[in-house]
Structure 1
Amino acid sequence: MRAPMTLRPAPPAAPRLLLAPMEGLLDCSLRDVLTRVGGVELCVSEFIRVTDQLLPARVFTRIAPELLTGGRTAAGTPVRAQLLGGDPVCLAENAARLAELSPAGVDLNFGCPAPVVNRHRGGAVLLDEPELVHAIVAAVRRAVPAAVPVTAKMRLGHLDDSRMLDCAHAIADGGAAELVVHARTKAEGYRPPAHWHRIAEIREAVALPVVANGEVWTVDDARRCLAESGCDALMLGRGMVADPGLARAIRGEPVPGWDALQPELRRFWASVGTRVEARHRAGRLKQWLGLMRRRFPEAGEAFARIRETNDARRVEALMFGEPAPAEADAVT
């Protein structure tokens, strides 16, 4: 029997909520589960790396399989596909091909902190070159139909935030429809705190809508982030992974307890089994449970049960007691 939903007080005005991309964590399997739980209005896919060639459609649909279902998750949540690269011409050509697959929009990554990405002139390192950032956004905007939104995500900077406003202006002037700002530099990684008040400076400097991102784990965090940034929209990442009901809580809606989330854990396990090599399958579940320990003591207990094994059959028996079906009842 499922545990009853609980209600947490919402911020005074429920903001617009987006689900962040997180390479190696928040992929299509987890997007499917989290959008079934509900509360978010739009998702962004993990980045699709663009280097020096026009990618075939199968690369886009492998990273964002929602492109095969009208650009939406099974729960009906729109998904923007994200591109990462440093060549305006090549990005524009790939954006045009991507647009043919009917995504909910094309997002551009100026925030990834991964050293291997930055060494190859992608992600947050581009924030040292506002002129290039502008050229990329403008080229992609010209390449896709006017009806397809072009958006971007940036950090406050690469090694420091001295060019923060230059980059924000470059993105706005290039024709982006929306800007998500992760309130830390690349050098700060994911270390707290997130500097939400710096997002307010960007919001005041540019005319396009600005979405605040970074270190929102609770409803109280959401309240403070909205107040300090001046934004009316949030992008949730690790906080939503740790607490799948966070978006619903921020909106003042009933949230699922641990028992109610069990069908979604089973669904995730089944989905990962179709996409991930068997030797890595247990690791993906441990990764999710590891974050969920912040919110649910039961997740810590489950993590402890499977911690010492990577055998998929053993994990399945310890977690679910029987093989997980391909489909499970969703949280309602």
Structure 2
Amino acid sequence: MTLLLAPMEGLLDFSLRDVLTRVGGVDCCVSEFIRVSGTLLPERVFTRIVPELLAGGKTPAGVPVRAQLLGSDPVCLADNAARLAGLRPAGIDLNFGCPAKIVNRHGGGAGLLDDPELIGRIVAAVRRAVPQPMPVTAKMRLGVRDGSRAVDCALALAGNGASEIVVHARTKLDGYRPPAYWEQIAAVREAVTVPVIANGEIWTVADALRCRAESGCSSLMLGRGIVANPGLALEIIAASMGSRQSQTLPWTAMQPLLRAYWQIIAGHVADRHRPGRIKQWLHLLRRHYPQAEQAYVEVRTINDPARIAAALGFVDANAHRRQEAADSIDRLCTVA
């Protein structure tokens, strides 16, 4: 069984990849998409979105990261894939799964699933442009409106060089609304000879086991479920090995992870956006941890990073108050 960490635009960037892979259980990550639209991107664009490229293509915990490209022009995607390959990611993934209207409207993501021939040409062009030892993989949905062309799309991907296919078990129109139709992945898995990995709506160990049973896939890609419960991968592994002992990550172990995340985003996220990022993670953690609910309520209306840090115990609260008092005195002196 392989467990992958999903690409999630606007949520699961390198900061969260760093923290989540420290917990363990994840075998490989896929980055959020790098949009390719008519130009050959400079290397700095790739390394800004996937800074792990500057560290051997791995997170600080040593988990490999595949860089994901999104676009619809086979030639332009191939040119960018060749440049990206020079930075030695753990693989290059192609996005045929994003359901966002702005992405689909401009040619990309799940909107391409109505054209298996085009997605086959994209994969073939990228495969030719990338050194043979480097994996070229793909992520798709069941289709645009229904799953009637899912097998055709998977055959186009596998037949043109994709070495692995992740299938998100919903259509473009489904978006992220539950349920996920894991049973529809089975036909895709049976039609191709490359590994197929199931994805979508896996929040718990019970979900993971049922997804494996219904899809026939041994391997899974985890998204919001592992963000809400960072120990989920370890729990799935333990359950798969027949363990009946609880592998739940305690809240005491979550606190240093939250602190580490806060410190990481401080280095690259503007002050005005940092509170939103930590609230976003706490909001998802509420599904699994009662303590996250309490923390979220406490900071929900706070937008000052220093006050957020003090409220969550990332800094000494008294030191924060002393600094506020000193700042007030400085302002008064300046006015005087």
> TM-score, normalized by length of structure 1?
0.92
CA distance in 2, matches of 1:129, 1:226: 28
Q: How many residues are aligned here? A: 310
SS in 2 for 1:131: helix
The unaligned stretches of length 5 or more in structure 1 are 1-14, 325-332
Aligned residue number for residue 311 of structure 2: 318
1:123 and 2:109 are equivalent in the alignment: yes
Residue in structure 2 matching 1:248, options 234, 240, 243: 234
Q: Which amino acid aligns with 2:273?
A: H
Report matched runs for 1:93-104 at 5 Å: 93-104=79-90
Cα offsets for 1:192-216 (capped at 9, x unmatched): 1100011000000111100000011
C-alpha displacement at 1:323, in angstroms? 6.4
CA distance in 1, matches of 2:55, 2:9: 22
C-alpha displacement at 1:255, in angstroms? 3.7
CA distance in 1, matches of 2:108, 2:190: 27
SS in 1 for 2:272: helix
Aligned residue number for residue 156 of structure 2: 170
Cα offsets for 1:80-107 (capped at 9, x unmatched): 0000000000000000000000100000
**RMSD of aligned alpha carbons:** 1.1
Report matched runs for 1:72-87 at 5 Å: 72-87=58-73
CA distance in 1, matches of 2:217, 2:148: 22
The unaligned stretches of length 5 or more in structure 2 are 318-336
SS in 1 for 2:273: helix
Q: Which moved more, 1:47-56 or 1:314-323?
A: 314-323
C-alpha displacement at 1:289, in angstroms? 0.5
Report matched runs for 1:1-332 at 5 Å: 15-252=1-238, 254-320=247-313, 322=315
C-alpha displacement at 1:159, in angstroms? 2.0
Q: Which amino acid aligns with 1:261?
A: M
State the structure with bigger RCO (CA 8 A, min sep 6), 1 or 2.
1
Cα offsets for 1:130-167 (capped at 9, x unmatched): 11100000000000000100000000011222211111
C-alpha displacement at 1:176, in angstroms? 0.4
CA distance in 1, matches of 2:149, 2:38: 27
CA distance in 2, matches of 1:256, 1:189: 30
Q: In structure 2, do the counterparts of structure 1 residues 52 and 257 end up closer, same or farther at CA, with 3 Å as the change threshold? A: same
CA distance in 2, matches of 1:135, 1:78: 27
CA distance in 1, matches of 2:316, 2:9: 28
CA distance in 2, matches of 1:72, 1:162: 37
CA distance in 2, matches of 1:172, 1:35: 29
Q: Which amino acid aligns with 1:88?
A: P
CA distance in 2, matches of 1:74, 1:209: 27
Cα offsets for 1:225-267 (capped at 9, x unmatched): 0000001100000000000000000011844201111111001
> TM-score, normalized by length of structure 2?
0.91
- Structure 1 residue runs of 4 or more that deviate by more than 3 Å after TM superposition: none
Larger radius of gyration: 2
Q: Is the 8 A contact 2:147 2:184 kept in 1?
A: no
Aligned residue number for residue 327 of structure 1: none
C-alpha displacement at 1:272, in angstroms? 1.1
Aligned residue number for residue 330 of structure 1: none
CA distance in 1, matches of 2:314, 2:164: 45
CA distance in 1, matches of 2:47, 2:278: 23
C-alpha displacement at 1:321, in angstroms? 5.1
